Amino acid sequence: MDSPEPTAKTTTAASASASAATLATPSSASPVQESPFSNFLSNLSPIGPVKAPHVLQGFLGLNSPPLVFTSPRINALRETSFFKRSLCPQLPSVEVPQHDDGARKSADGPGDLEKSDLLLHGGLTAITHKDSDIKYSVQVQPSSPAGCVDEYLADHVEVDGANSTSVAQNSKQSSNVVQLSQSGISDSKKTILKFDDQTYMKMKVVVPEAMPGETEQNIQGKTTFDCEPNKIKDEKTCGEWTSNEGSNIESNLSLDHASSKQQYEGSNAQNDASAHGDESNWPPQLLPGQLQIVQTYEHSEENAGAIPRALVDSTTNDPEASQNQRGMSRRCLQFEEAQPKAIVKSTNPSDQANDVTDSRSPATPTESESLDSSYLDLSATFSKRQLVNLPQPVTPLFPPRHTGKSPLTNSKPSGIGLHLNSIVNALPKGHAATVGVKLTTAEYGMLETKTSIAVSSMTSESFDNMPLHILPPIEHHATPHAKRKYNSEHTDSFEEFNQTSPKKKRQVCMKKPLGTIDGEGCKRCNCKKTKCLKLYCDCFAAGIYCAEPCACQGCFNRPEYEDTVLETRQQIESRNPLAFAPKIVQHATEFPDDGNRMTPASARHKRGCNCKKSMCLKKYCECYQANVGCSSGCRCEGCKNVYGRKEDYVENEEMVSNRLSKDRSEGTFEDRLETITNKNDFLHSELYDSRNLTPLTPSFDCSDHGKDAPKSRILFGRCIPSPESDLTILSSYTRTLRSLEKSDFNDMLLETSKEVLDVGACGQRMDYNSTDMTDQFSSRCDTLADFRNLTPLDFPSTAMAPSTSCKVSDWTNASRLQLCPKSGSLSSGSSLRWRSSPITPLTQSDGTKNHQELDSDNRLCDILEADTPDILKDASTPIKSVKVSSPSRKRVSPPHTRGHELRSSSSGALKSGRKFILKAVPSFPPLTPCIDSKGSTNQNKSDFQEKK
């Protein structure tokens, strides 16, 4: 933890080369915040005073090189560190001033240093994530407290000054930085905003936001934060920029952090250890992010080197490109370059930058960036996917969850859980889609990140439609991009709140716009005693910030109190992981076994209602309020729910279970599939139309072409073994997937999807082939249930509970892996995808061949699964989740046990789930809308048949 200094020493000593030495020294200094280097730097350059701090910071980043020399690890990291260096310059300019100030302002004592170290570590971890995925950016922010950010920034700055690599950028930044430093912290911030244009402003904004979120953020961070809003407000889009760009900044920060981290680690083994320790010690918010990051880092380490380079290159290039693009380009570069790795290591920013910029096609700064980046990321991810192993590199997604803590990260990750809730409750269709994406990203890490990215890219357009200010923590914003766009569009709202802009996490609940679907969008709460920090508050429960329309008193559910909100969320989630999960889930049980029967309301309330006097005919009843029928989970008395009585539901379940048993014995698999598909389509259409619950983003809808969306939902529903499965969630995921398809990403996905489908088919075959179909199903169902349990989600919740995510994220990741495969087995259509879910290429022993290939697609599935799990979990089946998956995504848990239990319990739902699974398979073709290309679905189907 405290080792930073030692590391610095080592680094300095090691840094024999002049450039390396300069860089290294700063880096070392930056962590420690010691001024020797800064002084030295100041002396060297006229900018000195300003740069000195920057240099220090930058050097921190630079230190990595020296560090490299010092520590054996460094070698591995070196490349990354170098890349990071290049990257650092970009960020540094912005952060450096803050960092320096913050460091100085903050107690100079060792404690501060430790903090910084911790932060740095967190940043490093975050960086690793970055390398793997876009998510990293998000993670970084969330994970790293403001202090961390500052340090990182400082490092970057130093790097800029020190490194010649990113000359142009550095020059720009350095100038800005210098000015800032001179002006003073607050002034510097202001100036930064001005200077930064987009990127710089973003950086500052991000930092301040992050800082404010944390309790003890550096004074600088606070000052910046305070100042920023005003400036932002002044600038029309300040809020927007912050929010939108926040993602970029996050990415940048994350990158920087990553670079610093790597360097840092490389230089000091101790630092690494300390870093880990620090991570553990970090504030809860940070911890989750860090944890996630760490995990991802581990996975991504292989790729880390390449990625960092890419990042660095991108960053270097970014300066040249528009600032907005920078963030995006970085991400994109990371992904894109990650594969190429070789491309640039560090110094040749221009070339890479050019490439990046070229690749990008920014329509508008924010949007274009977001979109472009998303696309790029996607492409990168896909390229990775091609390898099948990609998921790991992509890893960064997790951080988003954690992001709840850090504004940036929060925005992305948190989105999921909250989104789900919000979506279910009131979010517009578009939101739902986003939610799904977010969820996936947040919890599923790499896969999620990819998907999220893809989604974000895809949805970015749709995001415009997304007015909701979803709490970041819960939902991991699929991608910063989406946020960006969203923010830009909704900046006004943000401005109102003042804060907000940067924080992506929760988006303030737009007055009514959100409710586009419902009309309400966000309910206006009227909390008086809970400060809108309890589930009593609809806004809080939905993962959104309270907005003007709210009549709440003493409201803390506002961006200004993001930290408080996140903490509270975590607490609530700790008590009930599903607290923020969507309440409405679709029941598999209702699936039309007969084929003709469509349960208009397949959706059900997770926990069910407990009405005694309202007979479920008033809005007191949550089921009624959600326009869903009561289910066996309800404890209502005298249920007369017009959407479906509890009694009827129970009967259905029984019938379904009976039929399933029958079908198994009698019907041919294909026939079933056909019938099922037909039914499903119908159901989907109904559900989709009837339900407000699953708001699709327009974009998604478009992609789906209407039909597809419903189908996809249906499939998912089928996939869900348990009656409780959330169609809505699934649908959202599918939508996201679809959106992805639209994007460039589609091609990649299609290929992968095909493979995945094949795999899924194989998996299904396996299942079917297996003598005990039921067992398999049950097991799968179990796995799904496990997933549910595992990933309560945050997706939603996770999304909602990004903060809690730390724990959740870990297990969720594992669960995902398992789930994917299992899920695949369960539900044919969705299952295929899930199965294929790359995450667990292997998870399923089913022996699917190319799980890896599938994995890429599976990621999406995973995401979906992740979402579904939450729902599922919540939903009826409290199946005990068996921790299953290992980080590697292999299935650890034995589904059988569960399956066994399920059998024994033999709830109709389970049975129905099985049927669904079979059905789902056939439905794939229709589902195609989902991420997977239609062709892929067809192939899957064919494959499946063949296998049969």
Q: Which residues bind DNA (CB under 7 A)?
A: 523-531, 534-538, 541, 552, 572, 575-576, 579, 583, 607, 609-615, 618-622, 625
Q: Which is nearer to DNA, 85 or 469 (CB)?
A: 469
Shortest gap between Cβ of 911 and DNA (angstroms)? 23
Q: Residue 879: which H helix or E strand, with range?
A: none
Report the alpha-carbon distance of residue 760 to residue 928 in Å, rounded.
Answer: 14
The string over 397-436, giving b where at least 16 C-beta atoms fall within 10 Å of a residue's C-beta and e elsewhere, is: bbbbbbbbbbbbbbbbbbbbbbbbbbbbbbbbbbbbbbbb
Q: Within 13 Å and on the Cβ side, how many CA atoms surround 901? A: 17
Shortest gap between Cβ of 579 and DNA (angstroms)? 6
Shortest gap between Cβ of 636 and DNA (angstroms)? 7
Report the alpha-carbon distance of residue 925 to residue 310 in Å, rounded.
Answer: 37
Report the alpha-carbon distance of residue 314 to residue 92 in Å, rounded.
Answer: 14
Q: Which is nearer to DNA, 14 or 547 (CB)?
A: 547
Report the alpha-carbon distance of residue 432 to residue 77 in Å, rounded.
Answer: 39
Q: Within 13 Å and on the Cβ side, how many CA atoms surround 740? A: 47
In eight-state DSSP terms, residue 166 is T
Shortest gap between Cβ of 204 and DNA (angstroms)? 35
Kindly state the tokens that stand for 160.
Answer: 């800029």
- Bridge partners for 794 per DSSP: 798
Whether the Cβ atoms of residue 206 and residue 245 lie closer than 8 Å to each other: yes
* Longest CA pairwise span in the chain (Å): 86
Q: Which is nearer to DNA, 96 or 541 (CB)?
A: 541
The string over 81-111, giving b where at least 16 C-beta atoms fall within 10 Å of a residue's C-beta and e elsewhere, is: bbbbbbbbbbbbbbbbbbbbbbbbbbeeeee
Place of tokens 């189908």: 711
Q: Within 13 Å and on the Cβ side, how many CA atoms surround 429? A: 21
Report the alpha-carbon distance of residue 945 to residue 203 in Å, rounded.
Answer: 53
Shortest gap between Cβ of 588 and DNA (angstroms)? 22
- Bridge partners for 793 per DSSP: 797
Q: Which is nearer to DNA, 668 or 905 (CB)?
A: 905
Q: Which is nearer to DNA, 476 or 523 (CB)?
A: 523
Kindly state the tokens that stand for 390.
Answer: 């990609």
Q: Which is nearer to DNA, 72 or 536 (CB)?
A: 536
Residue type, 473: P
Whether the Cβ atoms of residue 490 and residue 510 lie closer than 8 Å to each other: yes
Q: Which is nearer to DNA, 364 or 576 (CB)?
A: 576
Shortest gap between Cβ of 898 and DNA (angstroms)? 18
Shortest gap between Cβ of 168 and DNA (angstroms)? 51
Shortest gap between Cβ of 404 and DNA (angstroms)? 16
In eight-state DSSP terms, residue 594 is S
Q: Which is nearer to DNA, 529 or 705 (CB)?
A: 529
In eight-state DSSP terms, residue 360 is -
Shortest gap between Cβ of 726 and DNA (angstroms)? 16
Neighbours of 849 (CB within 10 A): 14
Q: Which is nearer to DNA, 218 or 877 (CB)?
A: 877
Burial class from Cβ neighbours inside 10 Å (0-12, 13-18, 19+) for residue 342 reads: exposed
Residue type, 578: L
Q: Which is nearer to DNA, 528 or 705 (CB)?
A: 528
Q: Is 586 helix (H, G, I), strand (E, B) or coil?
A: strand
Shortest gap between Cβ of 895 and DNA (angstroms)? 23
Residue type, 735: R
Shortest gap between Cβ of 803 and DNA (angstroms)? 15
Closest of 680, 737, 732, 710 to residue 917, by C-alpha: 680
Q: Which is nearer to DNA, 3 or 568 (CB)?
A: 568
Q: Which is nearer to DNA, 341 or 523 (CB)?
A: 523
Q: Which is nearer to DNA, 206 or 527 (CB)?
A: 527
Shortest gap between Cβ of 426 and DNA (angstroms)? 10
What is the DSSP code string of 26-67? HHHHHHHT-SHHHHHHHHHSTTHHHHHHHHHHHHHHHHHHHH
Residue ranges of E strands in 117-205? none
Shortest gap between Cβ of 48 and DNA (angstroms)? 53
Whether the Cβ atoms of residue 553 and residue 527 lie closer than 8 Å to each other: yes
Report the alpha-carbon distance of residue 803 to residue 801 in Å, rounded.
Answer: 5
What is the DSSP code string of 747-785? HHHHHHHHHHHHHHHHHHHHHHHSS-HHHHHHHHHHHHH
Q: Which is nearer to DNA, 76 or 527 (CB)?
A: 527
Shortest gap between Cβ of 411 and DNA (angstroms)? 23
Q: Which is nearer to DNA, 487 or 798 (CB)?
A: 798
Q: Which is nearer to DNA, 646 or 738 (CB)?
A: 646
Shortest gap between Cβ of 782 and DNA (angstroms)? 19
C-alpha distances (whole Å) from 479 to each of 211, 561, 754 are 21, 22, 25
Phi, psi of 524 (to 5 degrees): -90, 125
Q: Which is nearer to DNA, 376 or 639 (CB)?
A: 639
Give the total residue count for the chain. 948
Shortest gap between Cβ of 427 and DNA (angstroms)? 15
Shortest gap between Cβ of 626 and DNA (angstroms)? 10
Q: Which is nearer to DNA, 618 or 662 (CB)?
A: 618
Kindly state the tokens that stand for 480.
Answer: 């910063």
Q: Within 13 Å and on the Cβ side, how many CA atoms surround 655? A: 14
In eight-state DSSP terms, residue 513 is G
Shortest gap between Cβ of 529 and DNA (angstroms)? 4
Q: Within 13 Å and on the Cβ side, how many CA atoms surround 471? A: 48
